[in-house]
Amino acid sequence: MCPCYRRRESRTDRANRVHSVTGMLGGAEVTHIFAHDILSVLNAELLEATVSGAQSYCERSLLLARPWDVVCLLNPLEESYLEYLQNLGIGPERGNIIPVGTSVRPDCSTRLLNCLMANPDALSAIARLVTFSAKVVLSPYIASQSELECTAVLQGALERSVELLGGNPHIVQLAKCKDVTRTKALELGVPVPEGEIVELELRRDGKPADLRCLRDAIHRHLGRTGRAIVRGADGASGSSLFIVKSHSASIEAALNRIAERTDNHVYLIETLLELTVSPNIMMHIAPGNGDITCVGITDQILNSRLMHQGNIYPSLAATLGDMMTSARSLCRWLQAEGYHGFAGFDFGEYVEQETGSPAHFLAEINPRMNGSVYPKALMEYLNVLQRKADRPPVEAFLSVNMKTRARSFASLHESCGRLFFDPAKGSGFVPFNTGCLKLGKFAAALFGKSRHQVAGIYQELATSLGGAWT
C-alpha cells in the first residue's frame, strides 16, 4: 500500500482491509465537480418534509473535495466558516467553490442542479478551473436523470468529455427500489428478513384502492417477534417506513397513514427483528470488471422509528466479514449492470433465537453517497495532517445533527468553539452543513481516539448547546 494512503487510514481500517474513501477519487490528474443535490433522491416535497433544510445539504461535499476540485453550492458560505475550513486544511481552494444560485433566470427552480445548468457564469467559471485536468468527473449525490442532463450541459460548456460518477441512472433507480433489491438478494443468497412484497391497486387520485392484502400480510409477519416493518419500495430517510405492533390500533394507524399516501404502490412487509447493531458498509465499484473495494464501515444510529440519525465508527458488529461478503455479491450485480462509484449497504445484526449466535440481514441498498462518507473522508484528510505533524491520529468518529440557538457560524463558534477539533489533541468536533443554522441545526463530526471519547464530546456539545439528536 502507498504510504500516503496509510497515513489516511485508521488502525481499525487497516485491520479490516478497509481502504481510503478519498483515495478512490483518483490523483491530481482527476478533477471532481461536486454537485450533491439531495433532492435528486426522490420527490423533493416529500424529502423536504422529512429532512428540513435539505437544500443546504450540498455543503457536505466540501469535506470530500481536494484543493483542486470544484464544489457547487446553492448559496455562498459565511466568510468566517470558509476561513475556519482553510485554517483546518480542509476543502477546495476558495475560488473553486461556486455558488450557483445567483445570476439565474427568475423562473429557475431553486434546486442545485437546475441552478447550475441555468447559470452561464457558473459554467464559465468551472470551464476555466478544469482547463488543465486530464479527466473531469461530475460527482453527484446520486446519478439520476437530472445528473445525466447536467453532465450533457457541462460537456457543452466545457467543450470536453465529462464522466458521470454512478453510471446509468436506470440501474440506480432499480437498486433504489427495495422490492427489487430484496428479490435480487434472495437470488444471490444474501440474507433478508422473513417477509413478502405486496402490490396495491391505486385509485385515480393515486391513493390505494384497497388495503386488505396489506393488512393480511402484516398479520402473517407479526407472529415471530410481535412486530413488523412496512416499507414503501421507494423512499429515503425513513419517509415511507412504518413499524407495526401486534395490536389492532397499531395496525389500523399504519394502514390509515398509508391510505392517504400517493408515493408508493409497492410495499415490503417483513418481520421486525431485534437489532443489536445496524452497520453501513460503503463500497466503491470500479467501471467494467474493475476492483470492488470496501471504503467504510460504520454503525448507524437509529431512533425508535428506525430513522437514520447519524453514524459512529468503528463498528461493533460481530458479523462484518459476512456482511462484506454479501455487499460484494450485490456489488458484482450492480457492476454487471453498468454501475460504478460509491454504494452503501445497510445491514442489520441480530441474535438468532435458535442458535444464540449473531447473524446479519440486508436492509437496503443506497446506490449513491450517504451520510457516512463525509465524516470518513474528513477523518482521512485530518489524519494525513495529524501524522505529518506527528500529532495523535483520529481513530473514532461520531456524526450527527445538532439543534442549536446559534443562527450563524460566528455565533456557533462563540458558544462552543472550545470543543472544536484541536489538532494538538486529535479530538474535538468539526461543524458542517452550516447553511442549516438558519433553521436552528447543523451537522457535527466528532473525532477522538475511541467511541467512548467521541460520545463524551457529544455529551459536552449537547450540554453546551442545549441540543440533541434531530
pLDDT in tens, 264-276: 999 999 999 999 9
Are 146 and 42 within 8 A, CB to CB?
no
Q: What is the pLDDT of residue 107?
A: 46
Q: Give 372-409 pLDDT, tens digit per residue.
A: 999 999 999 999 999 999 999 999 999 999 999 999 99
CA distance 256 to 263: 15
Q: Give 262-320 pLDDT, tens digit per residue.
A: 989 999 999 999 999 999 999 999 999 999 999 999 999 999 889 899 999 999 999 99
Q: What is the pLDDT of residue 104?
A: 56
pLDDT exceeds cutoff 80 at 2: no
Pairing of strands 266-271, 195-199: antiparallel
Q: Order of strands, edge to edge, in the sheet holding 227-232? A: 195-199, 266-271, 227-232, 241-245
Are 341 and 305 within 8 A, CB to CB?
no
Pairing of strands 135-140, 30-35: parallel
Is the whole model's pTM more than 0.75, yes or no? yes
pLDDT tier at 466, thresholds 50, 70, 90:
confident
- CA Rg value for the chain: 22
pLDDT exceeds cutoff 80 at 44: no
Which residues contact residue 302 at a Cβ distance below 8 angstroms, ignoring those fewer than 6 apart? Answer: 275, 278, 308, 309
CA distance 103 to 159: 22
Q: Within a 10 A sphere around the Cβ of 168, how many other Cβ atoms?
A: 15
pLDDT exceeds cutoff 60 at 468: no
Which residues contact residue 374 at a Cβ distance below 8 angstroms, ignoring those fewer than 6 apart? Answer: 60, 61, 63, 64, 399, 432, 443, 445
Q: Within a 10 A sphere around the Cβ of 236, how many other Cβ atoms?
A: 21
